[in-house]
Structure 1
Amino acid sequence: MTDHRRNNIRRSIYIVVTLMMLSNFLMASPAVEAIYLTDTIPPPPDVPGIVSGPTQACQGETMVYSADIPIGCETQWFIDGILQNTSADTLEVYWYESGIFIISIELTCDTAGNATSFLTVQVLGLPDAPAPIEGDTTACNLTESTYSTVIMDGSWCQWKVDGMVQDTDSTIMVYYWTEPGLHVVEVSAVNNCGLSELVFQNVTVNKWPQVELGNDTTILAGQLLVLDAGNPGCSYMWSTGETTQVITVSTTGKYLVEVSNVCGRVEDSLIVDVVVGVDETSVDEINIRISGDQVIINPAGVQIEQIEIWDLAGRILIRLPFKPTYFLPATGTFLIRAITYDHRVFDTMVIK
């Protein structure tokens, strides 16, 4: 056996013996090892209490957040990782913008290490203004109009008509127009933080035309009769070809007018009878005479239903069911018209 080999064997035996002695020492001294491990590995720090406070706020509001802090620990507050200027157990925050934010608190105690607790907060701003209103800009009274808009998610609508809040928070409003004229439709978006800027639309509500020329009438020769179709601002078409609201007539005939606007078209007519002198037929069949302030009528067998008394200006003074006498309050020349049940007309001029 060579010297080199002998040296290797001796070295191996030495290592084995040394390891065996070390093992026996460790097994014989467990308490010493336990004390060593306990003294050299520090415990983790206490965890702070859960951060409490509102999880939803409005832009422009101030909110307070807090957490339970163990004794002997120092705190640091963060918002989205940005250190805040306080080490107290509460944090006062003025929310100057909207968004999602994370509030966290980091705890540092005498022992090594840190512990953190956090809270997620949603900050809402005022909603964006609604999209422009879509709907009628002109309408007719006694009809409905539908108006609509678009708003951001998480908000609802407040509609107004002429400043009056309507009973709907939908993006669609149906309104029944009762009054003609100029009206204003408004809408704002609303959320838990308030109202947006409003948008508005002017609406012109037109009135359905209504025309009433009156009853058929009689005038004396040489008189003028004014016919007024009313409804200012509408379009007019008379049977005479005239297109004005008011016309003047002086001849016998049927006069018809059509009145129209954006809401529709209506028409009316009347018959004008021009009387010249006394109707001879009426003199033969009906006897009419003046006695003081009384008009005395003898129908002479004619079945009279109604009597009309007109003055020379074409104004009707009396229109009553037939009776033998009538009172004339003034002096002058009058047209006495008797209308029978079979619609015959008898005219007589009298002077009081």
Structure 2
Amino acid sequence: QSNFCGSGATNIVLNNTENFIEYQLRNDVDNSNIGAPVTGNASTINLPTGTINETTTFNISANNPATGCSLELSDLFTITINDLPTATLSGDATICEGETADLTFNFTGSSPWNVNYTDGTNSYNFTTFDNPYTLTISDAGTYALTAISDANCTGTDISGTASVVVNDLPEVFLGNDTTITTNDTLILDAGEGFSSYLWNDNTTEQTLTVNGTDLGQGNYDFSVEVEDVNTCSNSDTINVSVESGSSVNEIGTENISVYPNPTKSIFFIKGLNTENINQISIYNANGKIIQELKPNSENQEINLQHAASGIYFIRITNRNGTLYFKILKQD
């Protein structure tokens, strides 16, 4: 064997040796002797190299003890010692859902490198000629190396981890597309608790007042972008159609209220005129209806016990129009 990883020991095999001739293995750099001479036997002998830790070229001298004459054989023998590859990993990052982070792998050794790593749950593998190598990821996890090999050897020196945290995007919902009249004012609410708000008219408050009189008849899009404490942002858009006529929010009472708000499970809608109300709908921040009912009491009870915590919207409709409320469900 002429190639080793890290270190190695082997025999230089010499054929057709002569009887009584002493053969000495030497380091070709300075002709220093390696081990003791081996006497020829008219056949094959082995000259041990001993343990070597770096690439070494050997020569062989032949000495006749009877005459004291010696000569250096023409053949040279090279034993190659390849360094064991190493790998390090870095790239701690905190990102928002939909963003990416870069993990950096640094190597020693000879390309290509074959790398095994884990995200703390699953195992992965790649091969690269690049050093350093950048891997772009989007999933959260604690990334760590598990194995490294290069073109020649398998290494054991692997180090470093990268913790990647992926924060959820903030949830913002302006409600379903709706219709008002030129007599109406609609307040769009992006929700509380965000670090910043930016509406499409460049205002920066939590709410935006839509005035049907100022807009006139037509269809209008209103959008808002919110940012949370993790600097993650999200946006939503609502279409408001403005029609001429009496207010679509005239639903037979001016005294409707929702309480308690926030609620842990049960809340009440107070002040309903049950003869005029066609339907009450409860839907979540994604616009999915989770309850629909026709009220049977002026103080209608609604139970959100089995609903997840978050913001919900209440839509009350009759033949004259629609009214919206927002309620917060807490654990």
How does the TM-score come out when normalised to structure 1? 0.48
**Structure 1 unaligned residues grouped into runs of 5+:** 1-53, 217-226, 242-255, 289-303, 311-315, 321-325, 348-352
Task: Return the structure number with greater relative CO, CA threshold 8 A, min gap 6.
Answer: 2
Distance in 2 separating the partners of 1:162 and 1:124:
34
Render the CA deviation track for 1:319-339: whole Å, top value 9, x for unaligned: 16xxxxx697xx994179752
Q: Is the 8 A contact 2:103 2:162 kept in 1?
A: no
Kindly tell me: are residues 319 and 64 of structure 1, through their superposed partners in 2, closer, same or farther at Cα, counting changes over 3 Å? Answer: same
Question: How many residue pairs align between the two structures?
Answer: 230
Distance in 2 separating the partners of 1:192 and 1:317:
62
- Name the SS of the counterpart of 1:198 in structure 2: strand
Distance in 1 separating the partners of 2:13 and 2:319:
98
Counterpart position of 1:12: none
Kindly tell me: are residues 187 and 141 of structure 1, through their superposed partners in 2, closer, same or farther at Cα, counting changes over 3 Å? Answer: farther
Counterpart position of 1:119: 76
Q: Does 1:266 align with 2:234?
A: yes
Q: Is the 8 A contact 2:90 2:162 kept in 1?
A: no
Q: Does 1:275 align with 2:256?
A: yes
Larger CA deviation: 73-82 vs 166-175: 166-175
Match of 1:193 among 150, 153, 157: 153
Counterpart position of 2:32: 82
Match of 1:67 among 14, 23, 35: 14
1:121 is matched by which residue type in structure 2? T
Q: Does 1:339 align with 2:317?
A: yes
Distance in 1 separating the partners of 2:126 and 2:68:
63
Give the number of the structure whose residues are more often strand, by fraction. Answer: 2
> How far off is 1:177 after superposition?
2.8
Q: Is the 8 A contact 1:72 1:110 kept in 2?
A: no
Query: Which one has a bigger Cα radius of gyration?
Result: 1
Render the CA deviation track for 1:167-210: whole Å, top value 9, x for unaligned: 12232444343433544468856352321522324233322413
2:163 is matched by which residue type in structure 1? V
Identity of paired residues, percent?
10
**Structure 2 unaligned residues grouped into runs of 5+:** 40-44, 177-189, 198-204, 208-223, 239-253, 258-269, 283-288, 303-314, 326-331
Distance in 2 separating the partners of 1:308 and 1:318:
8
Larger CA deviation: 63-72 vs 113-122: 113-122
How does the TM-score come out when normalised to structure 2? 0.50
> How far off is 1:91 after superposition?
1.8
Q: Is the 8 A contact 2:82 2:152 kept in 1?
A: no
Aligned CA RMSD, in angstroms, stands at 4.8
> How far off is 1:102 after superposition?
1.4
Mapping for residues 221-300 of structure 1, pairs under 5 Å: 236-237=195-196, 258-260=226-228, 264-267=232-235, 275-276=256-257, 278=271, 283=275, 286=276
- Name the SS of the counterpart of 2:49 in structure 1: strand
> How far off is 1:261 after superposition?
5.2
